[in-house]
């Protein structure tokens, strides 16, 4: 029997899709029986975590039922104790529906994966709509090389979104980018089931940033995270008011502090920079050298501009000037919300430390 290359052996043992395992057996021989951990059927299981998504869940499921993917696939809706008609609508569409009372999106996603029967998992949110070739493109991206641990693409805004939504998520150019990336959105990600299992799925201790954390752990296993610009879904759930943007940013930052991905997240790092610039600016106003005030004030103004630029850099020049100013406003609100969470989270950590060590301090 031919000697198995180390890379393929690692893919087989630590996590790979069913098709890769079959290729391994065909090329390098072995017993007729598949290893016990290769127990899933060839195909794709689509998992939709949903809570009070009655407005969009029907359109989401319809877009998935009509996929052009030629292989077998199933659709699993995981209802997170919705108080509207989400569950009833999903049942009426004829898809598999399970119920979760979990407090974290990660646990809801993991429950869907636990009842999935196929060797590849695709995650999409209940307020998203997929194009007809979504599964097909995702499968082809995943199949390009055995080193690919997960692939995904952008979540664009609907055409009728207001200026706040469009400012934070400008129109995405429809071009076929295929590149290595560090993070993927949980609303548009596809990966082999065995890689998912080998890292323990999503971290259920996290309330948010579970998708970033998943990607970090996949990369630690030695696999690549791939961004495919063709594989776009339309996301209807973006915050559509400045107040909603503030609280969404605050919510993300509050729970992101405990994620492995915090120090790898560019917005989190920019938030820290913005906060420090603000503190130095205030301190310099009270008592400090004038040059330090100018530098810190420049940093305070620059941080939202950098965040705005990161959101608009894909736009052509004539669009850039039109959108940048509005995106700067939204970016300022995002950093304000995240800084508020950073402050409250830091105070909570200090308070917990003092309470835990009160006897020592006394």
Note the pLDDT tens digit of each residue in 251-286. Answer: 777 666 655 555 566 777 888 888 888 888 888 888
Among the listed ranges 118-127, 210-219, 255-264, which one has the minimum average pLDDT value? Answer: 255-264
**pLDDT (mean) for 146-156:** 92
DSSP three-state, residue 95: coil
Is 160 domain-assigned? yes
- The pLDDT-based confidence of 31 (bands split at 50, 70, 90) is very low
pTM for this entry: 0.73
- Give the pair of three-digit tokens for residue 219: 């990369």
**Number of folded domains in the chain?**
2
Please check whether residues 203 and 303 belong to one and the same domain: no
DSSP three-state, residue 7: helix
Range among 26-40, 117-131, 160-174, 232-246 with highest mean pLDDT value: 117-131
Residue 247 structural domain: 242-358
CA max distance for the chain: 78
Please check whether residues 205 and 68 belong to one and the same domain: yes
Is 1 domain-assigned? no
**CATH number (domain holding residue 199):** 3.90.550.10
Sign of torsion, CA 183 186 189 190?
positive
Question: What's the pLDDT score for residue 179?
Answer: 85
Please check whether residues 186 and 322 belong to one and the same domain: no
d(CA 248, CA 231): 25
Mean pLDDT of the chain: 80
Instruction: Judge whether 225 and 177 are in contact, CB under 8 Å.
Output: no
């Amino acid at each position: 029997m031919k000697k198995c290359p180390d890379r393929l052996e690692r893919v087989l043992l630590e996590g790979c899709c069913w098709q890769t395992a079959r290729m391994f057996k065909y090329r390098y021989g072995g017993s007729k029986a598949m290893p016990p951990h290769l127990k899933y059927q060839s195909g794709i299981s689509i998992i939709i975590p949903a809570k009070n998504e009655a407005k969009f869940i029907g359109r989401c499921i319809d877009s998935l039922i009509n996929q052009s993917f030629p292989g077998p696939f199933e659709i699993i809706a995981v209802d997170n104790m919705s108080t509207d008609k989400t569950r009833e609508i999903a049942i009426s569409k004829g898809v598999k529906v399970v119920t979760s009372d979990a407090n974290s999106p990660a646990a809801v996603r993991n429950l869907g994966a636990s009842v999935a029967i196929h060797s590849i998992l695709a995650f999409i949110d209940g307020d998203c709509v997929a194009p007809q070739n979504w599964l097909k493109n995702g499968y082809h991206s995943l199949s390009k090389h055995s080193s690919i641990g997960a692939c995904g693409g952008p979540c664009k805004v609907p055409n009728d979104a207001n200026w706040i939504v469009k400012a934070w998520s400008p129109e995405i150019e429809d071009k076929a980018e295929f590149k290595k990336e560090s993070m993927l959105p949980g609303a548009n990600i596809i990966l082999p089931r065995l890689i998912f299992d080998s890292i323990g799925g999503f971290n259920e201790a996290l309330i948010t940033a579970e998708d970033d954390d998943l990607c970090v752990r996949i990369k630690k296993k030695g696999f690549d995270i791939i961004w495919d610009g063709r594989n776009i879904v339309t996301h209807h759930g973006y915050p559509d008011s400045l107040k909603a943007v503030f609280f969404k940013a605050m919510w993300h930052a509050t729970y992101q502090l405990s994620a492995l991905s915090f120090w790898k997240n560019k917005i989190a790092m920019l938030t820290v920079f913005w906060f420090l610039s603000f503190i130095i600016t205030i301190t310099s106003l009270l008592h400090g050298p004038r040059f330090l005030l100018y530098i810190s004030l420049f940093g305070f103004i620059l941080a939202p501009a950098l965040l705005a630029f990161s959101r608009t850099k894909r736009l052509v020049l004539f669009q850039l000037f039109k959108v940048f100013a509005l995106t700067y406003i939204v970016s300022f609100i995002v950093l304000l919300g995240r800084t508020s969470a950073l402050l409250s989270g830091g105070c909570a950590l200090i308070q917990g430390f003092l309470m835990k060590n009160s006897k020592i301090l006394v």
